[in-house]
Amino acid sequence: MVIILARRIAQAVLVLLLVALISFAIFRFVGNPVENILGQEATVQDRNEMIERMGLNDPIPVQYARFVWDALHFDFGISYRTAEPVAELIASRLPATLELAFISALFALVAGILLGIFTAISRGRFLAGLVMTTSLVGVSLPTFLIGVLLIWLFAVELGVLPSFGRGDTVRLGFWETGLLTASGLKSLILPAITLGLYQMTLIMRLVRSEMLEVLRQDFIKFARARGLPERMVLLRHALRNTLVPVTTVAGLQLGSIVAFAIITETVFQWPGVGLMFINAVYFVDIPVMSAYLLLVGTLFVLINFIVDLLYLAIDPRIRDRNLRGGG
Amino acid sequence: MTSPPVRPSEKPAGAPESAPTSVSASISASISASRLQRALASDFVYDFTRAPIAIIAGLVVLFLFLVAILAPLVAPTNPFDPASLNLMNGFTPPMQANMFTGESFVMGTDDQGRDLLSAIIYGLRVSLFVGVMSVLLAMGLGVSLGLIAGYVGGWLDNLIMRIADIQLTFPSILIAMLIFGVLRGIIPPDLRDEMAIFVLITAIGLSEWVPFARTVRATTLVEKEKEYVQAARLIGLGRHQIMWRHILPNVLGPVLVIATITLALAIIAEATLSFLGVGAPATEPSLGTLIRIGQDFLFSGEWWILTFPAITLLALALSVNLLGDWLKDTLNPRLK
Amino acid sequence: MTAPLLEVSDLSVEFPQRRQRLQALDRISFTLEAGEVLGFVGESGAGKSLTGAAIMGLLEPPGRITGGRITLQGQRIDGQAESVRGRRIGMIFQDPLTSLNPLRTVGDQLVETIQLHLGMDAGAAAQRAGELLDEVGIDRARIGAYPHEFSGGMRQRIVIALALAPEPELIIADEPTTALDVSIQAQVLALLRRLCKERGAAVILITHDMGVIAETTDRVAVLYAGRLVETGRTAEVIAAPRHPYTKGLMAATPNLDLVSVDTVLPQIPGSMPSLAALPPGCRFHPRCGDVMPVCRRTAAPFIDGVACHLYGAQTQEAG
Ligand SMILES: Nc1ncnc2c1ncn2[C@@H]1O[C@H](COP(=O)(O)OP(=O)(O)OP(=O)(O)O)[C@@H](O)[C@H]1O
Ligand SMILES: [Mg+2]
C-alpha cells in the first residue's frame, strides 16, 4: 500500500513540475518582464538593476528552480496591471471561486446521481423520458448562454434573484464567505446552477447508463433470487456498484468545474479567480496568468490523485491488482 | 424497449469447436439467427427516425454557410460602413418602423442604429471562418502527429501521446484561453486587435488536435500491420509515401466525423471566448461578440439585440452537432 | 392425499412485442415431490430457464405469465412469488463468476441473506455463515474475502451456500456447472446433491448434459420450443425414450460407457425454430424422422408423459 502511494505521489509531483515548467516559460519568456514592471521610459541603469534583482541573467534551470521555490512559498510575482503581489490577489479571490465551485459540484453530484437513478429505474416512463430529452438540450447549450438565459428569466423577467456579484459577505479570518448571509446565498443560486448544469447532466447520464448496466448483471438477478426486497437490491447492490466508475468521471468533472468557473464568473461578474484570469488574459497580465495556470494545474493533479485513491478504497479488485503489482 | 437477451456465454463451456452434439450446434445457429434479426430490425427503425433530422441539420448548415460566404451580397447593409449608420435608427425593434426615420428592420437595430440582420450575417461569417480554420489547423496538426506517432512509434510516439494525455486532462476551452493569452503577450500591443482573429484560430486549433491524433494513431497502428502496407514496404516505398499515400486514405472516414464534431466545439469555443471579451474584437464582431453586446441591453428591454444572435448561434452549433452524430453513426468508425 | 411440493399446471409465458406476442412457454405442467430431483433438458431457447424464472417470479419484463397456476404445497405462488423467493425456493445460476457482488465480501452477502430470512442477529448470522462455508468445503476463515479471491468452483460453492442459507424446500439450479471447469463439475454437482438430500430439499436441475441427467436426477422433463414433450422416470426415459426428439437427444449423447474420442454421433437435422416463426401442429415436425400428416396440422396432447401423435393413437384406443 505504501509503495502504491509513493508511486502515485511521485507521478503527481512529476506532472506538477511539468505544469510549473510551462508556467515558468510563460512567466519568463512571454513579453518583457522588466519593461512590464518598469515601463518603457526606464533608464538603462534601472533596467539592469531590475534584471539583476530578478536574476534574469542566471542560467535558465536556476531560474526555474527559483520559480518553483518561490511558488512553494506562495510568491508568484507582482501583477503587471495592479502592481499587487499575485499571491494576495489570488488569496482575496479564491474563496469566491471555491464557494461557487463547491456548491455547483454539490448540486451536480446530488442532482446528477438522484436523477440518474430515477431515469434508470423508471426507464420507459414519460417523466424519465422528459428528463432525458431536457438534458440533451442542456448539454448542447453553451454555458454562457445558459447563464444569460437564467439571468433573463430570474433577474429580468421575474426579478427574484440577483444577476451579478456575491451579495453581502462576511469575513471569517482571511476567508470572505457569502454562505452566511441571505443575499449571499441568493446571489449564489444562478451562478451555481449555470456552472453545475453541464456536469450535472453528464453525471446523470453516466449514472443512468452505469445503473442500467449494473442492473443487467447476474449478481443483481441472484440478489433478487435470494429474496432480497427491491429496495435492498437497489441500495445495497446496484447503487454502490454504479458509483464506482462514476467516482472517477465525476471526480475529474469536478476539476473542470473550477476551470469552467471562468465563464460563469464572467457572466455573473463573480469576483473569483476565473474573472481575474480573464482580465489577465485581456490585459496581458502575464504573472497572473502563469500563477492561475499553476493553481488550476495543482488542483487538477490533486483531484486526479484523490480520485485514484478513492477508487482504490472502493473497489477491492483494483486494490488487490495494485497490491500485487506494487509488491 | 428491452431486447431479448442473447447470451452466447450460455453455450456449454466445455464444448469443443467441432460440436459433439446437435444441441450445441443448433445453439450457435439460433444465436446468430436472432442476432441478425435484431440487427435488421434496429437498422430499420434507425433509418426512419434519424435521417430526417440529419437532412434538416444538413440543410441548415448549408444555408448558413452560403449566407456567410455570400454576406456582402445577401446582407441588407454593410454593418461596418459608418456611412450606412444613422444614430437616429438606434434601438428600432424588429419589424417596426423607427419613430424618427420611419425605417424598419427585420431584426431591429442595435444602439448605433446598425441593422441587426446584417450584423448577424457578418458575425456568422466571422464565426464560421474561425471555426473552419481552427478545425483545419487542429486536423492538420492532429493527423500529422497521429500518423507519426503511429507509424514511427518509439519515443516519439511516447512523447506525442503523453502530451496529448496531459492536454486532455484540462478542458480545451481553458487551453484555448491560455494560448490566446500567451499569443497576445507575444504580439506587440498595437497589432493585437488586427491579429485577434488569427490568434483566436491558433488558440482554438491548438486546443483541439488531440482527438484527431488519437484516432489516426489507433488506425495507423492497425493499418500498419496489414498486408498492403507490408507489400508497399517490400517494394521499397519510403516512409513518407506509405504514411501519406497508403495509410492516410484509410483514416479519412473517422477524421471527417471528428472534424464535424470539432467544428461544433470550435464554434462554441469561439463564441465563448468572444463573449468573454477575449476573442473577436469589436471591429470584427462574431456571433459571440454580438451576444455579449446584446447582454448589456437585456435589462433595458431591447431583447432582440441578444436573442437573434443567440438563436443563430444555437441553430448553427446544434445542426453541426446533429450532422456529426449522424455521420458518426453512419460511418461507424471506431472512435476513441 | 397431501399436495405435492410443487405443482405447475398449464403454465404459459408470453413476451408481448410490437407486432406479435411471442409465446415462450405453452401450457407446461409437471409436479415435484419433496426431496425429489427433477431434470430439465432441451436445446438452447427451449424455455428451461424461463420455467425457472416463472416459478421464482423473476421473468424479465415485458415477459409475463399468461395462464396456468403454480402451487407450493397447495398454496398458489404465481403472482406473489416474493413471499417464497429465496426463503422457500432458492435459485442458482449458471455463472458463478458473475453471481456474486464483486464489491462486497462473501460474508456480507451470506449474513445479509441469513438475517433477512431467518431473523437472526448479526452475531448469530455470522456464526451461521461460517458453518455454511464449512459445509460447502470452504475455510470459514475466509468469510471476509471478496469474490474475486476465489476460483470459479469455490465461488459456485459459495453460491450454493447462499441459496441454501434460508433452508429452502426447493432449489432451482439453472446449469449450475456449465461454466465450470470440466474437472470440478462433478464435485460441485455431488456437493449440491448431497446438501439437498441432507436437508430434504427438492431440486430442479436445468442442464444440457444428458450425462448429468442420468447420474443426478430421479425424473426428467424434456422441453422443445416452449412445450413439454416428454416426462418420466429418468431411468425409464433413458432406457426407452418415446418422443422422437428425446430419442434424437439420446442418440446425440456420447454413451457414457463406451465413448471414444472420434465417435461420430448422429445429430438431429435442422435447428429449433425461433419463437417468432413457430411451425403449425407439432413444433418438432419439420425435424422429425417419423413425421405423419397429422403432425403438421395439430399438436399432440400431452398424455401419459409424452406429447406425440405416434403414441396418441394407442392411448385413444385404450381410453
Ligand atoms: N426478454 C425476452 N424477450 C423475448 N424473448 C425472450 C426473452 N427472454 C427469453 N426469450 C425467449 O424465450 C425462449 C426461452 O428462453 P430460455 O432462456 O428459457 O431458454 P433456455 O432453454 O434456458 O436456453 P439455454 O439453454 O440457452 O439457457 C427463447 O427462445 C428466448 O428467445
Ligand atoms: Mg437457460
Tell me: pLDDT of A232 over 50: yes
Cβ–Cβ < 8 Å for C253, B21: yes
CATH code: domain of residue C234:
3.40.50.300
Residue C89 bridge partners (DSSP): C85, C170
C4 in contact with ligand 1, CB cutoff 6 A: no
Q: Taking a C-beta distance cutoff of 8 angstroms, is the pair A166, A100 a contact?
A: no
B18 has pLDDT over 50: no
Question: For B263-321, how does the pLDDT look when each residue is reduced to its tens digit (9 = 90+)?
Answer: 999 999 999 999 998 888 888 889 998 898 888 888 777 788 888 899 999 999 888 88
Nearest neighbour of B295 by CB, restricted to A26, A143, A148: A148
DSSP of B11-28, one letter per residue?
S-TT--SS-SSHHHHHHH
- List the domain range (segments joined by +) for residue B193: 52-67+114-335
Phi-psi region of A51 (alpha: psi -120 to 50; beta: other; left: phi over 0): alpha
With a cut of 50, say whether residue B8 has pLDDT above it.
no
Residue A325 has pLDDT above 80, yes or no: no
Which chain B positions have a beta carbon within 8 Å of C175's beta carbon?
10
Ligand 1 pocket check for C22: Cβ under 6 Å:
yes
Chain A partners of B318 at a C-beta cutoff of 8 Å? 140
Q: What percent of chain B has pLDDT over 70?
A: 76
Confidence of residue B3 (pLDDT cuts 50, 70, 90): very low
For residue C175, give the ligand 1 atom closest to its CA.
27
Do B278 and A278 touch, CB atoms closer than 8 A? yes
Confidence (pTM):
0.78
3-state secondary structure of B288: helix
User: Nearest residue on chain B to A282, judged by CA atoms?
Assistant: B278
Of A111-115, A169-173, B330-334, C191-195, the one with minimum mean pLDDT is B330-334
Q: C312 versus B111: which is more confidently predicted?
A: B111
Quick one: pLDDT at residue B105? 67
Any chains having at least 3 CB pairs less than 8 A from chain B are A, C
Q: What was the pLDDT predicted at B335?
A: 42
Please judge whether A241 and C102 are an interchain contact, meaning their C-beta atoms are less than 8 angstroms apart: yes
Structure-model confidence comparison of residues C90 and A317, the more confident one: C90
Chain A touched by C160 (CB under 8 Å): no
Residue C180's H or E segment, with its range, is: none
Range 54-83 of C in CB contact (< 8 A) with A: 56, 58, 82
DSSP structure class, residue B243: I
Model pLDDT, residue B212: 94
Residue A251: the pLDDT is 78
> Does the beta-carbon distance from C101 to A315 stay under 8 Å?
no
Contact A251, B248 (CB under 8 A): no
Q: How far apart are CA A26 and CA B41, in angstroms?
A: 57
**Average pLDDT of chain A to the nearest whole number:** 85
Condensed to tens digits (0 to 9), the pLDDT of residues A147-170 reads 998 998 998 888 888 888 888 888
**In this complex, is the C-beta atom of C311 within 8 Å of any C-beta atom belonging to chain A?**
no
What is the average pLDDT across A202-214? 89
End-to-end distance of chain C based on CA atoms, in angstroms? 25
Task: Give B238→chain A minimum CA distance, Å.
Answer: 36
Most confidently predicted of A181-190, A241-250, B8-17: A181-190
Q: Does residue C270 form part of some domain? A: no
Q: What is the DSSP string of B119-143?
A: HHHHHHHHHHHHHHHHHHHHHHHHH
Q: Where are the beta strands (DSSP E) in chain A?
A: 170-172, 175-177
Residue whose entry in the numeric block shows the C-alpha cell 503587471 = A80
Task: For the beta carbon of residue C214, count every other beta carbon within 10 angstroms.
Answer: 17
Taking residues A88-115, what's their average pLDDT? 92
Distance CA B71, CA B191 (A): 26
Residue owning grid cell 433577474: A155
| Per-residue cell: C176 | 449450475
> In this model, does residue B69 exceed pLDDT 80?
yes
- The CA distance from A266 to the nearest CA of chain B, in Å, is 7
Indicate if ligand 1 lies below 6 Å from the C-beta of C52. Answer: no
Buried b (16+ CB within 10 A) or exposed e, A186-197: ebbbbbbbbbbb
Answer whether B185's CB lies under 8 Å from A30's CB: yes
B210-245 tens-digit pLDDT: 999 999 998 888 887 777 777 777 777 777 777 777
Asked if residue B96 lies in contact with residue B104, where contact means CB atoms within 8 angstroms, the answer is: yes
Which residue in chain C has the smallest CA separation from A314?
A: C103
pLDDT, mean of each 10-residue run, chain C (319 residues): 85 87 90 93 90 91 89 88 90 88 91 91 92 92 92 91 92 89 86 90 90 90 92 91 89 61 68 86 88 88 87 50
Percent of chain A predicted with pLDDT > 90: 27
Q: Which of B269, B156, B264 is closest to B207 using CA atoms?
A: B269
C175 in contact with B at a CB cutoff of 8 Å?
A: yes
What span, in angstroms and rounded, lies between the C-alpha atoms of C5 and C218? Answer: 15
User: Nearest-CA distance from A173 to chain B in Å?
Assistant: 31
CB of A143 within 8 Å of any CB in chain B? Answer: yes
C224: helix, strand or coil: strand
Between the CA of C46 and the centroid of ligand 1 the distance, in Å, is 7
| CA distance to A38, A51, A52, A78, per residue, from A45 (Å) | 11, 10, 11, 21
Q: Out of C94, C182, C271, whose CB is closest to B26? A: C271
Is there a contact between C101 and A219 if contact means CB atoms under 8 Å apart?
Answer: yes
DSSP C287: G
Percent of chain B with pLDDT over 90: 21
Interface A–B counts its CB contacts (< 8 A) at 94
pLDDT in tens, A79-99: 888 888 999 999 999 999 999
CA dihedral A276, A279, A281, A286 (to 10 degrees): -60
- Which residues on B lie below 8 Å from A296 (Cβ)? 170, 174
Q: In this complex, how many residue pairs, one in chain A and one in chain C, have their CB atoms less than 8 Å apart? A: 73
Residues with CB under 5 Å of ion ligand 2 are: C 49
Residue C142 touches partner A, C-beta closer than 8 Å: no
**Residue C111 in domain:** no
Residue A54 pLDDT: 76
Q: How far is the C-alpha of C104 from the C-alpha of A315, rounded, in Å?
A: 9
The H-or-E segment that residue A103 falls in is: helix A86-121
Chain A neighbors (3+ CB pairs < 8 Å): B, C
Determine contact: C259 vs chain A, CB below 8 A: no
Characterize the bridge pairing of strands C170-174 and C202-206: parallel
- How many independent structural domains does chain B possess? 1
Does residue B253 lie in a domain region? yes
Residue A236: strand, helix, or coil: helix
Nearest CA to ligand 1 atom 7: B4
Q: Is C63 in the pocket of ligand 1 (CB under 6 A)?
A: yes
| Structural domains of chain A ordered from first start | 92-284 (1.10.3720.10)
In total, how many domains does chain C have? 1
Q: Which of C13, C17, C20, C48 to mutate to test the pocket of ligand 1 (most atoms within 8 A of CB)?
A: C48
Q: All 3 cell numbers of residue C243?
A: 418422443
Q: How many CB atoms lie within 10 A of CB C187?
A: 16
Q: How many residues does chain C have?
A: 319
Tell which wins on pLDDT, A228 or B153. Answer: A228
- Report chain B residues whose CB lies below 8 A from the CB of C274: 30, 33-34, 37
Say if residue B44's pLDDT is above 90: no
The H or E element containing residue C243 is none
B25 near C CB under 8 A: yes
Angle between helices C182-199 and C152-164 (to 10 degrees): 10
Phi, psi at C103, each rounded to 5°: -95, 0
Determine which of A7-16, B42-51, C52-61 has the lowest per-residue pLDDT on average.
B42-51
Task: Indicate yes or no: CB of A144 within 8 angstroms of CB of B272.
Answer: yes
For ligand 1, atom 12, which residue shows the shortest CA distance? C24
**Interface contact flag, C44 B13, Cβ < 8 Å:** no
Measuring CA to CA, which residue among B259, B315, B326 is closest to residue B127?
B315
Chain B residues touching A221 at Cβ < 8 A:
none
CB neighbour list of residue A217: distance below 8 Å, 6 or more residues apart: A241, C98
User: Residues with Cβ < 8 Å from A205, sequence gap 6 or more?
Assistant: A116, A132, A135
Distance from CA of B35 to the nearest CA of C (A): 12
Minimum-distance ligand 1 atom for the alpha carbon of B10: 26
Average pLDDT of the residues in A20-36: 83
Q: Are residues C133 and C140 in contact, defined by beta-carbon separation less than 8 angstroms?
A: yes
Index of the ligand 1 atom closest to the CA of residue B27:
26
- Number of other CB atoms surrounding residue B129 within 10 Å: 19
d(CA C135, CA C112): 18
Residue B43 within any structural domain of the chain: no
Question: Residue B126's pLDDT is what?
Answer: 92
B13 to chain C: which residues are within 8 Å by CB?
178-180
Rounded to an integer, what distance in angstroms lies between the CA atom of residue B142 and that of residue B137? 8
Beta bridge partners of C202: C170
- CATH code, domain carrying B211: 1.10.3720.10
Nearest to B278 among A148, A278, A286 (CB): A278
Query: Is residue C261 in some structural domain?
Result: no
Q: Please state, in angstroms and rounded to a whole number, the distance separating the CA atoms of residues B134 and B182.
A: 17
* Residue C150 CB less than 6 A away from ligand 1: no
